[in-house]
Structure 1
Amino acid sequence: MTLTEIIFVLTGTCAILVFGGKVASLIMMLITKLFCPLPEAFFTSLGKWAVITGGSDGIGRAYAEELSKQGMSVIIISRNQEKLDRAAKKIELKTGGKVKVIAADFTKDDIYGHITENIEGLDIGVLVNNVGILPSQIPCKLLETSDLEERIYDIINCNVKSMVKMCRIVLPGMQQRRRGVILNVSSGIAKIPCPIYTLYAASKVFVERFSQGLQAEYISKGIIIQTVAPFGVSTAMTGHQKPDMVTFTAEEFVRSSLKYLKTGDQTYGSITHTLLGRIVQSIPTWVLQSEAFQHHFQEYVKNRDRR
């Protein structure tokens, strides 16, 4: 066999293996209950408490409500005390579970001592790092962002630093007890180059890489660390889009995503978003980076928000 033939055979074998791996991953998601079922008392076996950042609204509140339904007491952390109190009352009425609130603005640096004091000594089984912000409601080029210096600071603090610091606070107890789950909420757009969402997408790429490395470091300690990367979810951040085949309510998405907790260190959280992710990743990079795409995407978001 010549060198050229060997190269072609190896290339073909690698292509088959990669494609086969993707097919196997998709099949596993389709029948996840068979491959990776969660025991009935799975969450309460991890610990008494769940901590959720950005827990007063949207995906964060949906996680808090669902984990409360599973029998856990929950701590929701966000900056607005009134919204926190309202969310806590609604969750308690719906689930009968215990809800504790901590008011903290994750764009600030001086909040972590306060958070540590309020959760110190608790048996925390689940941490959901959900809090995050956009640089601007309407996507735009970096230098067109209003108050850019402040926005850079806020994005790094809220989307990046908060996750690392919360892991730093909660992980030692999980390591000592040799059990726990950390869910870090990313975004589907972290999978592709995403101009006009550059700062936000880059912060979510950090979430994914940090989570993968951390999982490799602590999987032997019995701790699950997973990135959850949704596409369309109807929340305030997405202008409360009307739910459809691709866009979920926050409650629907959270219920779906928790089913994939044992399928690996990353998940899109649903079959629909997994298929969408495969499609988006197959789009040539030059299309995503073109001025035409940027313009049409910006106009789409403007029209969506007006509706």
Structure 2
Amino acid sequence: MGAGQDEAVRVGITPAGTMSLVRSHHRDVLRRLEPVLPAGPAPACLHPGLVREATRTPTGDGADPARVAELVRALAGTGPVPPLEHLAPDGSSASPDWCAWGTGQLLADIRRTGGTGDADFGASDPAEGIAHLEAARETLRRVWPEAALETDLLIRAIVYVEGGAFRSATLRQTFGAVYLGASSVESTPAAFEALLHETGHHALYLRNFFVTYVTNGDVMISHPLRPDPRPVTGAVHAAHVLARMAHGLTRWAAEPTAPPEVTARRDDALRRLRGTIEALEPAAEWTAEGRRYFDDLLRWEKETIASGGRGN
């Protein structure tokens, strides 16, 4: 079993496993885009704009050659970890096409589940949120270097949006972008938690290249992260990101200078992780690899609690 396959059945992070997963995704996206890629070296990293072009149709043949060429030129010479982009879409033509599409998808989902009375997303001044996000990245590098590396390799852009109770999201079709609402960057601990949450979604998407965890993924259940009924596959995602959040917050909470908010968020993540596990236990029909993953999740929860998390 290769590094990527090993990583696919564990909750944790290893640099070799992360790199294997990233390379697999990179190859798949470039393969889809091959007919429209401009001549010259292929980009050394992916970008949500490229992923969006590759996923416009199931085979990738809906990609716009001019848009792909522009994105590839922008990535030339950046290496595998270009600077993180901070975007605040304003609905104008200046907003990147992939960003406008992504925020539109999120707004449609909010209206579908919450009603048409929800306000549209609006632009905001993201300066304070960016400061908290960058402070959170520095803290992550200090307390959990492997998670910081994973974030650097997977996340290309942060999209700051304003709109009602929206908190955060990741879309498979714009892989590499994280959409954050105001509450997710209102403090450095909030931004730290949001980074772990949304990078965790990205990491599990990559694991699904190698592994199918459940055979009844479309069965609807409720769990503490999303109380409205969602597919079992969504509950697996919830458990994965809550485990990552609880572990990272436990590491930070162990520092004497950690703000009290870190401990409170850690305890809440552990409580919701336990509730999500309890929802999965009677509902999920695991594959052999999925059972290995779930056993590792249970071990991860136990060790996180033992290392300082109280849980409730």
TM-score, normalising length from structure 2? 0.24
Computing the radius of gyration from Cα coordinates, the structure with the larger value is 1
TM-score, normalising length from structure 1? 0.25
Higher strand share: 1
